[in-house]
Amino acid sequence: MLAIGLMSGTSRDGIDAALIETDGEGQAQAVEFHAMPYDDGFRFRLAEACRRAMAMQSPGFEPLVASVEAELTELHVQAVADLLGRSGHIAEDVGVIGFHGHTVAHRPEWGWTWQIGDGAGLAGAFGIPVVADLRSADVAAGGQGAPLMPVYHRALAEGLAKPTVVLNLGGVANITFIGSDGTLIAFDTGMASGLIDNWMQMQVNADYDAGGACAAAGQVDEERLAAMMADPWFDLPPPKSIDREQFSINAVQGLNLEDGAATLTAFTAAAVARAIDHLPERPTAIHVGGGGRHNGTLMAMLTGRTGVAVMSVDELGWDGDALEAQGFAYMAVRRLKGLPISFPGTTGAPTPMTGGVLFRP
C-alpha cells in the first residue's frame, strides 16, 4: 500500500512529508520525500501556542492555539499536494495518510497529550483516509505516548547486528534499543537540538548552530553541565518522555555565545550517555537520524561521552531526514490492519496498543 506520513516535530522548523510503499510489517520502501519549512512568523506563533498550551491544566479552547491549528492544517494540505506532485502520484493512488500534527503540550504525568491538526479536514481535502491523534490512547491507558518510532525502527533494523540503538535527534532526543534477543526498549533521553536552537536564536538571531561550528569554538562549562545533569528526571528508569519545554537555557545564561553552545551541545550528548546506562546491554553502535546528525560537534561529543561507535543512519542507506515521516506512514497502515504501534517496553503501555483515530473522507 502507498502511504503518506507527515511530521511536524519539536524543532518547529517545518513539515516532513514522506511517501512509502509498505505492508505495515516487514516491507517498507521509500518512494518520495519533501521537506517544507515554516516561515519565521508561523514558527513564532507555533512556539507561543506551545507555551500557552503548556500553561493549561488540560487541552481545551485557546484562541491562538485554535488559530494556529487551522493554519497548521492548511500547511499540511500544501505539503501533501507538493509531495504528490513530486512523486508523480495522484491522491487516488494513496491508501492512507499518517498525520502526527504538532505536539503543543505533552503531559503524560497528568494523563494527557495534545497534538493539534484537523484530521477530518485533511481527509476531506484529498479524499484519503487519515490516521491522526496517534498518542492519546496510549497516554489514556497509562503509557507515555512516546516515543512511537520504535516499531518502524525495528522493521528497518532487521538485518543489523544486535544489540543496537537508533537515536533520533530532533528538538527532543529519543532512542530505540533492540537487544540481542529482540528486546525492544525506547524512551526520550533529554533535549537534542531544542535548547541549542533557542540559544542561537536568542543570542544571534540564528535558527540553529550550523554544523556545530559555534559549539566547536567554545568550551564546555563542566560545572554547569553537572548541575543540569543533576535533574532527577535523568535517573528515572525507562520508559519515559518529556516535553520540549521541560528544560530551558537559563542554566547557561551569562556564558558567551560559543561556550553556551558548547555546554548545551554537551548536555544533549551527556544525556544520551546517561540513557545508555539504563539499557540492559551496551549497544554495538548508535545510528543517528534527525536534523541533529548534521551537527558534527554533537556527533563527536556523542562518541566521546558514550564510548560507542556513532554514525548517521544515512550510512545504512536510510534517509535520516525522512525517517519520522516515514514512520507515521508505516504506523497508519498498521492502524488500518489493527496492529500495535506502542508496547510496554517503548511507552509503558500496559499491553501492545493500536493507537490513532481514523478519519474517513
**Residue 293, domain member (yes or no):** yes
Residue 205 inside a domain? The answer is: yes
On whether both 69 and 102 belong to a single domain, the answer is yes
Query: 131-162 pLDDT, tens per residue?
Result: 999 999 999 999 999 999 999 999 999 999 99
Domain co-membership, 261 together with 335: no
**Residue whose C-alpha cell reads 533557542 in the numeric block:** 198
- What three-state secondary structure class fits 217? coil
Total domains in the fold of the chain: 2
- What is the per-residue pLDDT across 157-196, written as a single tens digit (0 to 9) for each? 999 999 999 999 999 999 999 999 999 999 999 999 999 9
Q: Indicate whether this model's pTM tops 0.85.
A: yes
Considering the chain, what is the average pLDDT of its residues? Answer: 96
Query: Domain for residue 154, yes or no?
Result: no
pLDDT number for residue 10: 84
Q: Among residues 156, 151, 130, 118, which one has the least CA distance to residue 4?
A: 130
Domain with residue 136: its CATH number is 3.30.420.40
- The b/e string for 100-124 (b: 16+ C-beta within 10 A; e otherwise) is bbbbbbbbbeeebbbbbbbbebbbe
Task: Report pLDDT digits (tens) over 119-138.
Answer: 999 999 999 999 999 999 99
| Residue 288 shares a structural domain with residue 180 | yes
Asked whether residue 22 falls in the same domain as residue 104, the answer is yes
Together in a domain, 202 and 307: yes
pLDDT tens digit at each of 361 positions of the chain: 999 999 998 889 999 999 999 999 999 999 999 999 999 999 999 999 999 999 999 999 999 999 999 999 999 999 999 999 999 999 999 999 999 999 999 999 999 999 999 999 999 999 999 999 999 999 999 999 999 999 999 999 999 999 999 999 999 999 999 999 999 999 999 999 999 999 999 999 999 999 999 999 999 999 999 999 999 999 999 999 998 888 999 999 999 999 999 999 999 999 999 999 999 999 999 999 999 999 999 999 999 999 999 999 999 999 999 999 999 999 999 999 999 999 999 999 999 999 999 999 9
- Per-residue pLDDT, 244: 83
Let me know whether 221 and 353 are in one domain.
Answer: no
Residue 253: per-residue pLDDT? 97
Q: State how far Cα 30 lies from the chain centre.
A: 19
Cβ contacts of residue 277 below 8 Å, gap of 6+? Answer: none
Q: Is residue 30 within 8 Å of 24, Cβ to Cβ? A: no
- Centre a 10 Å sphere on the Cβ of residue 282 and count the other Cβ atoms it contains: 12
Alpha-carbon separation of residue 120 from 14, 99, 125 (angstroms): 21, 11, 9
| Domain boundaries, position 272 | 159-316
310 and 245 share one domain: yes
Position 101 scores a pLDDT of 98
* Any domain includes 349: yes
